[in-house]
Structure 1
């Protein structure tokens, strides 16, 4: 599992670790890892031209010490000092002793344009707002010349704790981060600025707290959560998921939600709604009812909302049920917030950015720019677990604690009906006994992986994604 910690937590851990080490040892560890990463990206250090963009503070110091190491290996290293009076003194002295040269920002254009590699040591993890004009100009030259950029700890200009980008920021090809991931490296929009991310161990693992701010599941974590039937299992013991979805206008939403549910680990799927004929024609194994959710038979979890139109009564019936409930699409619009908050059984809400914006009463752009804050706010307002869909999917629990982040998807998943498949899949995992947080996290992971497997770089439809869930499940289990 990958974890990320807040700036305050990281700084507290660094202080605790530095108290145990000789002065400067922590920065030397970081600089050594940064220099190795730069050398590997260059391929050939001797004779290469490296430019350091150096701001004030420790990130600039890391860049300067790494630059000194690279200069001693035969690289021509120049440092553009963006805050000369506040440049890290020890790093600058070591850099000059190694043969590095300094450049005034006013003369930085030609130096950057001729570089083989640019190292972004402008702003550290405590930086806020976008780049200052001099830094923005130099970063622009690197982008214009398509010079590879390595960011120190995180790209300058992004918000470390939130993943927000409030102004101009460096776009890195590689980010070398130290000790632990920072939230911005896992959450869009900042994640898009980080490029590939390389974590350098500097010893923080011994002093970081057990509870991170963010978690990103990996194959081994998901495999441990997958429901597996035992020898005594039958279809009812494995869980039954109810699907209240679809309408005369959108029967396909019901079919796709059922498709996801059939591949999510529950033993049976019950369908309630006006698309019964379409569902049975595609999936004869589904149990259908036309009596409404309350009379459909026993279920261990409900999914309500995909393609449901304006039938608020069905949404109300499902929300009042004393079993885990997943609310998606039209269900999000129709569900009464007080009724959702009054629920005692787990609730999982699965909005995309537009739906989240409507629920929060803000513009969509505000949600997309502050995804972490939006997911947490929704979870708190509704007393529910919230799965905020997007290029990085976030799963936030109303009880607080670590937010889960998932990035297994592909841009090809931005296709009609894909979210319906995800809802059915997550609902089935709820019925199989997973918590709302785990069901949402595992479903997002499998759904994203299925999208990659189905598309293989080409366009896909939602039905292709549903069919690939089984392959994704096996891939996770086998690895």
Structure 2
């Protein structure tokens, strides 16, 4: 499992470690790891470090010091290193002396050509995007030169991934001691590129963010026992679809059936039921005992009573799409059974009484607010899907593809996560595992080309096998 920690947590751990180490030792550890990562990138691209032209964009803090010390190490390996300061009067004195002693130089303007650029403008304490002086340097990056960010791309909020103004786009980000949430959550994650972690000896406790990997998901996947029957494996009820949107019912049922449900019970209009049976004749029609409900996809207007009726039952319920309209936060908080809400940004904005832009720019805060306000697990869909519940670490889904932004994709995810709820997973686990499998299936179905929601559902069994094979 990959974990990420807030700036406050990292700063505290750094302070404890620095109190036990000689002065400057921690920065030297970071610089050594940064220089090694840069050397690997240069060797991969041009075969050697010697003779490489390296530009350091240097800010006034420790982040700039890391870049200067790393630049000195690369200069000693024969690279030509040029430091361009954001504020010449506030450069890290020790790092500057080391760079000059190694043969590096300082220039006022960014060179026109480079083989690699180190972004050391702002560190993890930076807020609100790049200031004008830093933005002016970032705008003059040599064309085609890969950018390596020092701990975090400058202009990205380390705690949230928010980008409030101009920011640097990196090909590689070298993080020191721990990943920060902003490296894993869009829009910051998009700017971070490939991530590389340098262990500098920090002692860290509970993370703020965690990312499941194949082994973590495999441990959570339900596996039928020899004595299992369809009822013991979990029956999921699906209340979805309408005369206007019968396809939503079909897709939600498809996700549930291919998501491991022992049986799926469909409740909805006759026209939608006929569409479901035509595609999946194994579906049970009508109410009956279930281990979890999925309600909302394609439900249409005027059916809030059905949602409230299901939420009144002592059974896990996943609420999506039209089912999210007008939810009573107090009633949800009073539920004893698990609840999983699966909104996209627009639906989340309505649930929180804000606008879509606020949700999209502050996804981490939004998903935490949803979980707290409604007393439920919340899965916020989007370019970075997040799952929050109960004040624990927020889970960031690492799988997926832009091709998943297609009609009906969310309906498949609802059925899939509902099947996992019916199999006994907690609401948070069902959401996180469902998003992970859904993303893998999307990648497999798309393979770099457009796909349909039906193809996502069809790819779920192979995604499941991929996870089990590790």
Q: Specify the TM-score bucket, using the shorter chain as the normaliser.
A: over 0.9
**What are the within-5 Å matches in structure 2 for residues 65-144 of structure 1?**
65-104=69-108, 108-109=109-110, 111=111, 113-142=112-141
Cross-structure match for 1:385: 377
Distance 1:361 1:19 in 2: 46
2:174 to 152, 162, 176: 176
**What are the within-5 Å matches in structure 2 for residues 158-197 of structure 1?**
158-197=156-195
Cross-structure match for 1:435: 426
Cross-structure match for 2:464: 473
1:444 to 427, 435, 447: 435
Give the secondary structure class of the aligned counterpart of 2:306: helix
1:403-439 CA-to-partner distances (Å, cap 9, x unmatched) read 0000201000000000000000000000000000100
Unaligned runs of 5+ in 2: none
Distance 1:193 1:88 in 2: 26
Cross-structure match for 1:355: 347
Distance 1:321 1:163 in 2: 38
Distance 1:263 1:179 in 2: 40
1:266 to 261, 268, 277: 261
Cross-structure match for 2:415: 424
- In the TM superposition, residue 169 of structure 1 has moved relative to its aligned partner by 0.6
Give the secondary structure class of the aligned counterpart of 2:230: coil
Distance 1:21 1:423 in 2: 51
Cross-structure match for 1:145: 143
Distance 2:380 2:280 in 1: 29
TM-score (norm 2): 0.97
1:211-250 CA-to-partner distances (Å, cap 9, x unmatched) read 1000000000000000001111111111111000000000
Cross-structure match for 1:292: none
Tell me, yes or no, if the aligned pair for 2:304 and 2:325 is still in contact at 8 Å.
no
- In the TM superposition, residue 21 of structure 1 has moved relative to its aligned partner by 2.4
Quick check: 1:14 aligned with 2:14?
Answer: yes
- In the TM superposition, residue 168 of structure 1 has moved relative to its aligned partner by 0.6
- In the TM superposition, residue 334 of structure 1 has moved relative to its aligned partner by 4.3
Cross-structure match for 2:337: 345
Give the secondary structure class of the aligned counterpart of 1:80: strand
Cross-structure match for 1:293: none
Count of matched residue positions in the alignment of Structure 1 and Structure 2: 463
Distance 2:329 2:32 in 1: 53
TM-score (norm 1): 0.95
1:144-182 CA-to-partner distances (Å, cap 9, x unmatched) read 623211100000111100111011111111111111110
Cross-structure match for 2:281: 284
Tell me, yes or no, if the aligned pair for 1:391 and 1:407 is still in contact at 8 Å.
no
Distance 1:335 1:253 in 2: 21
Distance 1:189 1:62 in 2: 25
Quick check: 1:255 aligned with 2:259?
Answer: no
Distance 1:363 1:146 in 2: 37
Give the secondary structure class of the aligned counterpart of 1:145: coil
